A and B are shown apart, each in its own frame.
Chain A
Amino acid sequence: KAGVTQTPRYLIKTRGQQVTLSCSPISGHRSVSWYQQTPGQGLQFLFEYFSETQRNKGNFPGRFSGRQFSNSRSEMNVSTLELGDSALYLCASNRDSYNEQFFGPGTRLTVL
């Protein structure tokens, strides 16, 4: 069974630009969540999508948004990038809210 895949793995952008990250969950998983990992803050929850609907949202500004498609694939968008957005962005999937999550390898975003 293929795991969670994320593309691209590495990305370099400049301040003010926008970026879109992609996540393909494990087959059969309908819930996709996004996390930001930084050395100072650890793993912070961004949002969760289930059946194309955002079900939960963390404490991040509106520049961070996402969506989920009918095949459960999800994208995350960050607009007007700031230096502080440099982080590892992790995607995780599970069947529903009551199961442990499986994480992808992450996308390393560097904002210059």
Chain B
Amino acid sequence: DQQVKQNSPSLSVQEGRISILNCDYTNSMFDYFLWYKKYPAEGPTFLISISSIKDKNEDGRFTVFLNKSAKHLSLHIVPSQPGDSAVYFCAASPYSGGGADGLTFGKGTHLIIQP
């Protein structure tokens, strides 16, 4: 049973436009959500996170939105740049912070920014 789902294996967006990556979860105990970015031949790097007490968190070009009632979160990248081309993983945890305890990852979405 997949508790964190990223239903789009890949997404292609034109440079300068908005990229929207989606993530759904089924476990209502999840309390903290994170996005990681991964380039080929490198490990994932932390991008942005959000606690369940918030519905939005912004960091520069990256904004994460959380809809708890729908068990849905999304990552918005505006404007999209060529260096944003990577695999993005959504992760969720029943605990605050982003430690390994209880952390569950989605399968990832490959974002491709077209010039």
Interfacial residues, chain A to chain B (CB-CB below 8 A): 4, 31, 33, 35, 40-45, 48, 55-56, 90-92, 94, 96-106
Q: Are the CB atoms of A41 and B107 closer together than 8 Å? A: yes
The B interface is mostly helix, strand or loop, or mixed, namely: loop
Asked if B43 and A92 make an inter-chain contact with CB atoms under 8 angstroms apart, the answer reads yes
Q: Could you give 16 example pairs across A and B, Cβ below 8 Å?
A: A31-B99, A33-B100, A41-B107, A42-B105, A48-B101, A96-B99, A97-B101, A98-B97, A99-B98, A100-B46, A100-B49, A100-B97, A100-B99, A101-B98, A101-B103, A104-B43
Q: Which residues of A contact B49 (CB under 8 A)?
A: 100
Nearest chain A residue, comparing its CB with the CB of B41:
A105
Tell me, in angstroms, the Cα distance from A91 to B47 when the chains sit together.
18
Report how many A-B pairs have Cβ atoms within 8 Å. 75
**When the two chains form their complex, are residues B99 and A101 in contact, meaning their CB atoms are under 8 A apart?**
yes
CA distance A41 to B102 in the complex (A): 17
> Quick one: which of A41, A44, A90, A98 contacts B99, CB cutoff 8 A?
A98
B44: contacting residue among A31, A48, A103, CB under 8 A? A103
Residues of B within 8 A of A (CB): 34, 36, 41-46, 49, 89, 91, 95-108
Bound CA–CA A56/B102 (angstroms): 8
Contacts of B102 in A (CB 8 A): 56
Q: Choose from A43, A56, A104 the contact partner of B101 (Cβ within 8 Å).
A: A56
B89 is contacted by which of A43, A92, A97 (Cβ under 8 Å)? A43
Take A102-B46, A105-B43 as given contacts and tell me if A97 and B105 are in contact as well, using a CB distance cutoff of 8 Å: no
A42 and B107: CB pair below 8 A?
yes
A105 proximity list for chain B (CB < 8 A): 41-43
